Structure 1
Amino acid sequence: MNLKRFEFIELPTYLKSVKKLKKRFKNINSDVDSFFKEVNHIDDLGIKLHENIYKVRIKNSNKQAGKSSGYRLITYIKISENKINLLYIYDKSDLTNISDKELDRIVIDSYQNA
C-alpha cells in the first residue's frame, strides 16, 4: 500500500511523549521529520502489533548508534481516511518492549484525549 497520500496526525498522547523526550533529546523533531519523509509504503511503518497498529524504529541522532537503540513510534493507520495517527513515541532505553496491556492503555488514552 502506497502511503504518500496519507496525512500524519499528531494525537495529544504523542505530543506529550515528544515534549517529555525533547528535554533529553534536542533533535527529536528533526529525527521524526526525517522518518516522515522516508515513509512511502506500509512496510516502512515497521512491525504490525495489532490490526492497523504498527511500531517503527527511528534513529536518534543524539545517540551515536543506529535505529536499534533509537526511538520507537507507535502508529494507527486509518486507511479509509488516508490518515496515520501518531499515538506514542518512546526511547528504547526507557522501555525495551511494550506489553499488550500498555499498548491498550496508549490506544485508549489517545482516543479519549483526541
Structure 2
Amino acid sequence: MPNEEKPLVGIDLTPEFKQNLRVLSKRFRNIRSDVQVVIEQLQEGNILGDRIGDIGEDFVVYKLRVRNSNIQKGKSAGYRLIYQVESPTSILLLTIYSKSDQEDITANEIRDMVISFEREET
C-alpha cells in the first residue's frame, strides 16, 4: 500500500500573535525561524507542550516552550507560545511572549483571547 500523506494542519494566527511576533522580532532576530520549526511540527499533526486545563472544557489550549536562539539559555528562558487546537485540522496560535518580559499568563487572559478572536471571526 502506498504511504498515505496526511493533510497538513491549518495554522491561523490571531492579531495579538502577529503583533507580539512583530514586536519581539525587533529584539530577537531569529524569532521567526525559531517559531517556524514549531509551526512545521504542528502542521504535521504533532501536539506539543502542556495542556492548560483550567480554561474550560470547550477550550483545548496548550502552552509550549520555544527556544530563543538569540540567547544561550535554553527553552526555559525562551518564548512561550500559546495555541488552541480548534479541530484535528485547525490550530490557532493565540499569543507568544518572551519569558524575560512576562512571567506567566493566566487562564482568564487566555480564555479572553480565544473568545475575542472568535467574536472577530463571526
Q: Please report the TM-score for the alignment, with normalisation by the length of structure 2.
A: 0.77
5+ residue gaps, structure 1, are none
Q: Is the 8 A contact 1:72 1:90 kept in 2?
A: yes
- 2:79 partner letter: Y
Q: What displacement does 1:106 show?
A: 2.3
Q: What displacement does 1:97 show?
A: 1.7
Percent identical: 37
Which structure has the higher relative contact order (CA within 8 Å, separation 6+)? 1
5+ residue gaps, structure 2, are 1-5, 54-58
Aligned length: 109
Structure 1 consecutive aligned stretches of length 4 or more whose deviation exceeds 4 Å: none
Q: CA RMSD in A?
A: 2.0
- Residue in structure 2 matched with residue 32 of structure 1 by the alignment: 35
Q: Please report the TM-score for the alignment, with normalisation by the length of structure 1.
A: 0.82
Q: What displacement does 1:47 show?
A: 0.6
- Residue in structure 2 matched with residue 91 of structure 1 by the alignment: 98
Equivalent residue of 2:95, what SS? strand
- 2:10 partner letter: E
